Chains A and B, each alone.
Chain A
Amino acid sequence: MNDLRDLYQEVILDHNKRPRNFRIIEQPTHRAEGVNPLCGDRINVYLNIEDEVIKDITFQGAGCAISSASASLMTEALKGKPIGEIEHLFEAFHNVVTSDCECPHGLGKLSVLAGVRDYPSRVKCATLAWHAVRAALEEHKEPVATE
């Protein structure tokens, strides 16, 4: 049970139960769907970007606790950020969930997902929303898949 708590930390369980920014933006400037073909999870992200800054970011969809909490935490982390910072944050986040590196500064609450690194089959759950955001910025018309 203890090592499971490393994965399912309180912050993650909380964001799973009460996801933040869990709504649709009616007229987003950018949107994309992310799917994980292995499990059938789907997530939609919506963004309002003005002057290269993320004014609003939301998501909807059904997923596991890891993908839901990661999406929720991501929207909190990205709101108000210039879009130029997304790639840098994603890279840092990806490193944290896939390798034993020290958590870089600036990740904030996102680092609660570091426990995923011990569960390789769950890394795709943690990165699904991020892939969707990157797809939205590239204006993909088709859903982006983790595979």
Chain B
Amino acid sequence: MSALPALSTVPIDRCADLDLARIRAEFPILRQRVHGKPLVYLDNAASVQRPKAVIDAISDCYSSYYGNIHRGVHLLSERSTTAYEGAREKVRAFLNAASVQEIIFTRNTTESINLVASSFGGSVVKAGDEIVITGMEHHSNIVPWQMLCERTGAALKVVPFTDAGELILEEYERLLDSGRVKLVGVVHLSNALGTLNPVKAMIEMAHARGVPVLVDGAQSVPHLAVDVRELDCEFYAFSSHKIYGPAGVGVLYGKKALLEAMPPYQGGGDMISLVTFEKTTYADLPNKFEAGTPSIADVIGLGAALDWLNAIGLDAVAAHEHALLEYTTARLSEIPGLRLIGTARDKAALASFTMQGIHPHDIGTILDREGVAIRAGHHCAQPVMQRYGVPATARASFAVYNTHDEADVLVKALWKVKELFA
């Protein structure tokens, strides 16, 4: 993955590469009005909407070929198995992983991280060891490590960041130098700040000291091309519902040698090769980590989402969203009393902000009445809120289907907020 250019170097007209009208027409949910106003959906970092191709793929599975996977000799089971494993291959190709054995389906990013914390962490981390995370992690990349530390007596160390929202790499290096670090967990794209972290450099720094790295890619995968072999991370986690796929499916990429050495996370059906009451032999990868019947149709839906996104091309998506973010940031900056939270040089996909004297919840309610859906709250990143001394922020987050006109509706509605609270 190459680093994205700084905002100022992305020409605004590059969004012309995309046929936005055609793209928007593929999202049935976007056609509606809310409170009598056209829906402007800017809560994509929480969960994005799905194109008809994905809805149809799920519907088609249930209407025409659904059966349980990996166990039936009947046609429907075989067809479902082929489609399910086909989706795994699509995820492999999407991340450029070496093998489908390295792609584990979970429920979501949170479960992917918990799997690593429990299985890898549980077998490797001992009292006195350290786990390094950053100050801008989502709760899902904090709490599993805290739980692991409580169980094992290890310590959690946190990489600080600047007022702009950029990690202080000197501090990161200092933490790595303790010699006790067993794993680094870092968010690729911060959901609260929009910061795009220099994960490739951070992975190299960790590897120089023999430390494996887990990257939380929940926010990044819909916005930029990710190549796990180029990054060379040990683990990469993301959720289907943030990348135009259905909710209820997550992905964990892990290097094969590590996954093979790790004990199973959950026990049950589909993860075994032989069970007797005396002893059970576990299945090979990836099934070892997929106990029980998975959300089959939703995994297939994720495959359809990746096909859909690949057809547009992530480079075109990134260029469009960058232009949109640059435009929105400029317009937001014109509003007196509006403070952007997160002004890193490398930023993507979202603008987090506060308005003087106006609570983000009030902003959210007023915007909703104008048809504009944003997130108002702590974004499951309370330490980030504490870092900036705010209880919450308002956050507008973009997807490929958002337009400059929608950014204008957002900004106009924010001026209304100011007027009401004047």
Contacts and interface: CB of A to CB of B under 8 A. Distances in A.
A145 B82 CA distance: 48
Contacts of A1: 416, 420
Contacts of A121: 365
B14 to A, nearest CB: 36
Nearest to A41: B391
Contact of B359 (A4, A65, A119): A65
B336 interface: no
A137 interface: no
Interface residues of B, number: 20
Interface stretch (B53-61, B87-95, B297-305, B375-383): B375-383
Interface in B208-267: none
A97 to B, nearest CB: 14
Interface string B403-421: 0000000000000100011
A11 interface: no
Contact of B362 (A3, A62, A66): A66
A8 B422 CA distance: 12
A118 B391 CA distance: 25
A64 B359 CA distance: 5
B385 A13 contact: no
Contact of B377 (A17, A40, A65, A122): A40
Given A1-B420, A3-B369, A39 B362 contact: no
A7 interface: yes
A65 B362 contact: yes
Interface in B338-367: 357-362, 365-366
Contacts of A62: 359, 391
Contacts of B35: 3
B200 to A, nearest CB: 33
A145 B286 CA distance: 41
A39 B421 contact: no
B33 to A, nearest CB: 15
B148 interface: no
B391 A119 contact: no
B377 A39 contact: yes
B392 interface: yes
A26 B55 CA distance: 59
B420 A8 contact: yes
Given A1-B416, A17-B357, A64-B359, A40 B365 contact: no
Contacts of B391: 39-42, 62-63
Contact of A4 (B357, B361, B366, B376): B366
Contacts of B366: 4, 8
A17 B359 CA distance: 11
Task: In the A-B complex, list the 9 residue pairs whose CB atoms are closest, starting with the nearest.
Answer: A64-B359, A64-B361, A40-B378, A65-B362, A62-B391, A40-B391, A39-B377, A64-B362, A4-B369
Given A39-B360, A39-B377, A64-B359, 9 more contacts: A8-B362, A8-B420, A40-B377, A40-B385, A41-B391, A62-B359, A65-B358, A68-B359, A122-B365
